[in-house]
Amino acid sequence: MGTVAWTEKYRPATAAMLLGNEEAVEAFKAWMKQWTLKKKPTKACLLVGPPGVGKTTLARAAANDFHFRVVEMNASDVRTEKAIKNLLGPVRTSTTLDTFSAEGRGNLILMDEVDGVFGREDRGGIGAILSVIKQSPVPIVLTANDIDNERFDDLKKACIVIQLFEIRPRLLLALINHILAQEGRTVSENVRKRIAGESHGDMRSAINDIQTISSSGAVNLRPDRTRELDEKDTLSGLFASRGVSEARRVLNETQIPLYRDELLLLIHDLLPYLYTTPSKLAKAYDSLSRTDIGYGRIGASRSRGMMPPPFNQPRRDAVPEWSLLPVALNELATVGTELVDNDIETAMDVAPRLSSKIVDRYQYRLWALDHLCRRVARACHLSKRKALHEVVPFLVAIFRADEERGREIAVNLEAEERDIDFLVSESKTPPALKGPEEVLDPTGFKLPFMGKDKFIELMRAGVSYDKASGKFAVRRLDNLDTVEERVSDIMARPIKFQRPEQAAAEVEGKAVKECYVDEQKITCEKCDFVENCPTHIIPSLKFCICDQTLSEPTAYEKYVAKNGMAAKPVKAVKPVKAAKTTKVAKRVAARKKD
């Protein structure tokens, strides 16, 4: 036994067997129900959520419940407009002719991972999907991991968006217990708990893990996740590795794109915090420098380095030589060969992201400088570079000594008002950021009057202004660090924002879930999984399961039973007619067989 993947074996056939996301399942079922009525909805349904939470399963199971036949498209299909029309055209039109009986209501189009539709190859992909949605007489279900991008705005409008969240670890544990009981295997509680906690709410990976572990017999083995290494794992793997080949393996598995110099810059920021011994640091930096040269030789476009465009001229526009990448990566593998002086995780916490931040921080200053240099260069027959080094510092000094004289000279140089403003501000050397820190509420704070230029800079830095209340607010709370620095820079004094974590902490204290099975209250703080559970801070998710239920071996069955109270009995779907099977349907059928 054991040839069938448990993820397939235990894939719910009906929506009632689905675990977690109770609210989303209800919403989806309500939408499906509309399609069985006379008046069909005009919108498609977009299921959004992280991998492995059951988006596709939900669509398939609900389709099954309502007797729709699923026609599936995967992300791997090329999604040019033409391809979509070719594939969907026949499916769409044939539905009305298709076996419209009591049981089989027709087709349901399932498009997986629509957030993969983009880029040049998929030109018109989203447009095509939209036009299909508008004309479609059959339900269309789309799934996506992340639609937080403006290019999906139109799609969102054309769909009912249902958000699915990570599966709570306690539910996962119930499922794991259930599966193991069904299979007659045992795995120690520690391992079970760890899998439930560390799979990030990903049901698929949790089930895969438990299958691997229980089949391999190594019951205490730590699950070896095949997931690509994220930033943290890559870096710690690289520096923990003994020898080049091990490091090379880490590089092979990282999810950080290696065709850009992102990883290089990450290491660059980290090195001085890892190595405090000068010789080790020098050695590591030498490796990094060689890697960097390797990337230079490849000749692909790089990150912009320290300077914004005017000072950062493109190097050359030759065709990149990707065959040289392995050479560069071998060099990179030697970066972490020396034993680190400091703990990697601590280093990652303390090391500031300088290389990327400094660019943002000084960007506007450098643009202003560039503008001025252009003026000076023209008037003094110099290059911009020379103007920057030979004239601008002197101009600033003149402004510092005598602003009136400076203004005269600047006007003679045909400098514009903004250049003069810049020179004035430069000459009043901004004092190093001193004074007591101000802690502001990022969702609404007041600032003293600052003048137009600074105001514009603030707007650019990601701050919005509400005229009515006279208050500023940070537009996006996820990059508070950067905004903080810029605002401090612009206002020339240290400014701190309250972190949303502080707010989150308050919620955490109150986070209470209700047991889905017996309605007992559960306090998230007391739960073993509180650190791993991604959903305890989402108040709209009301349910979990309590300890008492979880301790019973039939927790999963109870859950499903509760879930299935309203569900209809399952009827068989009418078999697909061979003559009408499209390519896609064939594949679906083939998959169903095994």
> What residues make contact with other proteins under the rule CB under 8 A?
261, 264-265, 268, 271-272, 278-279, 281-282, 284-286, 288-289, 292-293, 295-297, 299, 302-303, 305-307, 311, 313-316, 354-355, 358-359, 361-362, 365-366, 369-370, 377, 379-386, 388-391, 393-398, 400-402, 405-406, 409, 412-413
DSSP letters, 357-370, are HHHHHHHHHHHHHH
Q: Provide the minimum distance between the beta carbon of 411 and other proteins in the complex, in angstroms, as a whole number.
A: 12
Query: Under the phi-then-psi rule, with left for phi > 0, alpha for psi from -120 to 50, and beta for the rest, what region is 445?
Result: beta
What is the closest distance, in whole angstroms, from the C-beta atom of residue 321 to other proteins in the complex? 11
CA distance 524 to 530: 6
- Cβ nearer to other proteins, comparing 375 with 471: 375
Sheet holding 543-544, edge to edge: 521-523, 512-515, 543-544
Q: What is the largest CA-CA distance in the chain?
A: 91
Return the closest-CA partner of residue 164 out of 140, 151, 145. 145
DSSP string for 394-428:
HHHHHHHH-HHHHHHHHHHTT--HHHHHHHHHHHS
β-bridge pairing 438-440 and 495-497: parallel
Distance CA 67, CA 70 (A): 9
Return the SS3 of 1.
coil
CB 422 to other proteins: min, Å: 13
How far is the C-alpha of 33 from the C-alpha of 36, rounded, in Å? 5
Strands 471-474 and 463-466: antiparallel
From the CB of 558, what's the least distance to other proteins, in Å?
58
Residue 591 phi, psi (nearest 5): -65, -40
Residue of 105, 6, 26 lying closest to 64 (CA atoms): 105
Q: Least separation, in Å, of the C-beta of 486 and other proteins?
A: 13
Q: 155: Cβ–Cβ under 8 A, 6 or more apart, which residues? A: 46, 114, 126, 129, 130, 142, 147
Give yes or no for a contact between 201 and 166, defined as CB atoms under 8 angstroms apart. Answer: yes
User: Among residues 249 and 407, whose Cβ is nearest to other proteins?
Assistant: 407
**127 or 299: CB nearest other proteins:** 299
User: Cα separations (Å) of 575 from 359, 571, 592?
Assistant: 61, 12, 12
Please state the closest distance from residue 6 (CB atom) to other proteins, in A: 47
With respect to other proteins, which residue has the nearer C-beta, 412 or 540?
Answer: 412
Six token digits for residue 356: 């990327």
CB of 318 to other proteins, least distance (A): 10
Smallest distance, Å, CB 428 to other proteins? 14
| CB-based contact 504:537 (threshold 8 Å) | yes
* C-beta closer to other proteins: residue 218 or 282: 282
Residue placing its CB nearer to other proteins in the complex, 369 or 522: 369
**Which is closer to other proteins, CB of 112 or CB of 269?**
269
What single letter denotes the amino acid at residue 446?
K
Of 124 and 272, CB closest to other proteins: 272
Q: Which C-beta is closer to other proteins: that of 309 or that of 500?
A: 309
Given the complex with other proteins, which of 289 and 498 has the nearer CB atom? Answer: 289
